[in-house]
Amino acid sequence: GAVVSQHPSWVICKSGTSVKIECRSLDFQATTMFWYRQFPKQSLMLMATSNEGSKATYEQGVEKDKFLINHASLTLSTLTVTSAHPEDSSFYICSARTSAQSYEQYFGPGTRLTVT
């Protein structure tokens, strides 16, 4: 089946620093990847849609200069949280669409970010 990995699985950083999270599709090429954020006991909130070779599309209210997304290849998308603050602490999850003809999305295992 379709496998998506994320790295790191958890990270602790200090306020003001930047953190990069990687999302990889391991056994398929993903032209589109998605980044979500999830707060405790809440559902997933889409942050942005990442298309290989083009700029990401951000959802309303998501700061594109704070959450930098790069989709440099068909198997890798990265999310960089810049100048992190404690309120950025959250569970970040990526997903990948298996093809342009299918709406199936497979999720990575998630990254727990804690900003101190």
Partner 1 sequence: EDKVVQSPLSLVVHEGDTVTLNCSYEVTNFRSLLWYKQEKKAPTFLFMLTSSGIEKKSGRLSSILDKKELFSILNITATQTGDSAVYLCAVASVRGKLIFGQGTTLQVKP
Residues at the contact surface with partner 1, assessed by CB under 8 A: 6, 32, 34, 42-46, 49, 57, 93, 95, 97, 102-110
Closest CB to partner 1 among residues 81, 96: 96
Give dist(CA 94, CA 12) in Å, integer.
Answer: 19
**Least distance (Å) from partner 1 to the CB of residue 112?**
9
Radius of gyration from C-alpha coordinates of the chain: 13
Nearest distance from residue 20's CB to partner 1, in Å?
A: 18
Return the exposure string of 102-114: e unless at least 16 CB atoms fall within 10 Å of the residue's CB, then b: eeebbbbebbebe
Least distance from partner 1 to the Cβ atom of residue 54, Å: 12
